[in-house]
């Protein structure tokens, strides 16, 4: 399974430093935000370079030129063989030892790690599997747009970051839809719009941006698509940007499955009202089916509304934990909260 998330950084909210290109600055910002939340790692970019992934992909296509479609399972023998060949070639050429001058200490530590080769091979295999799943119409952006290997270690989900101007495409893959959705939601929440005051620590790491005007504006383009290895649409994720705790509560109050309980409450209350109207003014003694049904529906409607409130605030509490906010006023519903929620719907067959 794989997800494709597209977004664009609004350049008007950025103050660039002198002699800095806009494309470079937005990439620097996105990289920093992903690294800060442990989705991208400097050590991974050293273990597996962009050039190695492109070379491995070219080799895989060359081997399968006469054999049909590319394999998309990272555990397949063909992908494993290509990954091993690229890793061996890198070791022979000494590319791994060269690294980048600013990160010599990190390179040295990675080289001493006895699991380096295993992690390199695994990262190359997963990167190849993602590249192999890219549709033919999007193949032209691979070489020009590929930037980084991503790895959400909390969910053990790999991904690739692509860039075109100030726009970015994040492709993640995993065989488990639940883990894939969790990693996708994490990435969306990381890159959601937020106040500039929340970015002081991140901006200290971004060398190309001097400041952000009031608020970082990132637009999510369209819906997130979750597709099968065969390219069939499995689920669609709709991104909702959160700007306040009250706004989040209002959004959840009108979404499924919470809203189903509201409809159930309204239906039962309506049944109760109808029975009461028909029974009003009628004299009856002893047991009355009409009176019993009216009271029963009234109790059910009250219970359904109570269940609605419990479901609403339970869901609100789960999402609220992942959002950021003004630490001075987190207990007030009117205080700020920022992040994003992904609402998943199953694709129609």
3-class DSSP assignment, residue 255: coil
Is the CB of residue 241 less than 8 Å from the CB of residue 247?
no
Q: What percent of the chain has pLDDT over 90?
A: 28
- The 8 Å CB, 24+ separation contacts for 137-145 are 141/169, 142/54, 142/57, 143/54, 145/169
**38-52, 195-209, 289-303: segment of lowest average pLDDT:** 289-303
- The answer, as to whether pTM is greater than 0.85, is no
User: In this predicted structure, what is the pLDDT of residue 277?
Assistant: 65
Residues pairing with 341 in the sheet:
240
**Cα 228 versus chain centre, distance:** 17
User: In this predicted structure, what is the pLDDT of residue 331?
Assistant: 56
Task: Output the average pLDDT for the chain.
Answer: 79
Give, rounded to a whole angstrom, the gap between the first and last alpha carbons of the chain: 17
* Buried b / exposed e along 48-67 (16+ C-beta atoms within 10 A): bbbebbebbbebbeeeeeee
The alpha-carbon radius of gyration of the chain (Å, integer) is: 26
Q: How far is CA 26 from CA 8, 64, 181, 310, in A?
A: 9, 36, 25, 42
3-state secondary structure 44-97: HHHHCCHHHHHHHHHHHHHHCCCCCCCCCCCCCHHHHHHHHHHHHHHHHHCHHH
pLDDT tens digits, one per residue of 139-160: 888 888 999 999 999 999 999 9
Tokens of 86: 């690229």
**Cα 279 versus chain centre, distance:** 55
Phi then psi for residue 50, to 5 deg, are: -60, -40
Mean pLDDT for the stretch of residues 223-248 = 84
Contacts of 140 (CB under 8 A, 6+ apart): none
Is the CB of residue 324 less than 8 Å from the CB of residue 338?
yes
**Cα 295 versus chain centre, distance:** 47
Is the CB of residue 312 less than 8 Å from the CB of residue 304?
no
**Cα 51 versus chain centre, distance:** 26
User: In this predicted structure, what is the pLDDT of residue 66?
Assistant: 53
pLDDT tens digits, one per residue of 101-133: 444 444 454 455 456 778 888 999 999 999 999
User: In this predicted structure, what is the pLDDT of residue 276?
Assistant: 63
Is the CB of residue 138 less than 8 Å from the CB of residue 63?
no
CB-based burial label for 194 (10 Å; 0-12, 13-18, 19+):
buried
Residue 345: band (very low, low, confident or very high) from pLDDT cuts 50, 70, 90:
confident
CB-based burial label for 15 (10 Å; 0-12, 13-18, 19+):
exposed
User: In this predicted structure, what is the pLDDT of residue 83?
Assistant: 87
- Cα–Cα distance, 159 to 173 (Å, whole number): 6
- Is the pLDDT at 337 greater than 90, yes or no? no
* Buried b / exposed e along 253-271 (16+ C-beta atoms within 10 A): beeeebeebeebbeebbeb
- Cα–Cα distance, 159 to 151 (Å, whole number): 6
- Is the pLDDT at 98 greater than 50, yes or no? no
At how many degrees (to 10) do helices 289-320 and 245-253 cross? 140
Helix (H) or strand (E) holding 14: strand 14-16
pLDDT tens digits, one per residue of 267-307: 767 766 666 666 554 545 454 556 656 666 666 667 767 76
DSSP label at residue 228: -
Is the CB of residue 117 less than 8 Å from the CB of residue 47?
no
């Amino acid at each position: 399974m794989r997800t494709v998330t597209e977004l664009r950084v609004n350049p008007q909210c950025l103050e660039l430093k002198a002699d800095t290109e806009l494309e470079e600055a937005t990439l620097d910002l996105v990289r920093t935000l992903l690294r800060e939340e442990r989705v991208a790692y400097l050590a991974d970019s050293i273990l597996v370079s962009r050039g190695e992934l492109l070379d491995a992909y070219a080799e895989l296509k060359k081997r399968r030129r006469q054999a049909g479609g590319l394999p998309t399972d990272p555990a397949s023998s063909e992908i494993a063989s290509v990954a091993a060949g690229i890793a061996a070639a890198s070791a022979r050429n000494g590319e791994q030892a060269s690294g980048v001058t600013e990160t010599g200490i990190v390179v040295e530590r990675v080289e001493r790690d006895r699991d380096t080769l295993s992690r390199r091979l695994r990262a190359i295999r997963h990167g190849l599997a993602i590249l192999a799943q890219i549709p033919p119409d999007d193949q032209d952006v691979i070489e020009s747009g590929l930037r980084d290997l991503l790895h959400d270690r909390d969910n053990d989900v790999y991904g690739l970051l692509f860039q075109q101007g100030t726009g970015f495409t994040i492709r993640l893959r995993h065989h488990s839809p639940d883990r894939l959705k969790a990693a996708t939601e994490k990435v969306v929440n990381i890159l959601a719009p937020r106040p500039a005051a929340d970015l002081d620590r991140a901006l200290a790491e971004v060398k190309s941006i001097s400041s952000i005007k009031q608020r970082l504006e990132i637009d999510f383009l369209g819906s997130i698509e979750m597709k099968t290895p065969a390219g069939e649409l499995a689920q669609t994720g709709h991104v909702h940007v959160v700007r306040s705790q009250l706004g989040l509560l209002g959004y959840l109050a009108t979404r499924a499955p919470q809203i189903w309980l509201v409809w159930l409450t309204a239906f039962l209350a309506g049944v109760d009202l109808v029975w009461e109207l028909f029974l009003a003014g009628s004299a009856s003694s002893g047991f009355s089916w009409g009176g019993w049904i009216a009271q029963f529906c009234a109790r059910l409607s009250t219970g359904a509304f109570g269940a609605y409130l419990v479901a609403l605030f339970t869901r609100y509490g789960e999402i609220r934990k992942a959002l950021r906010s003004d630490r001075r006023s987190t207990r007030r519903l009117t205080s700020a909260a920022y992040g994003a929620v992904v609402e998943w719907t199953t694709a129609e067959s």
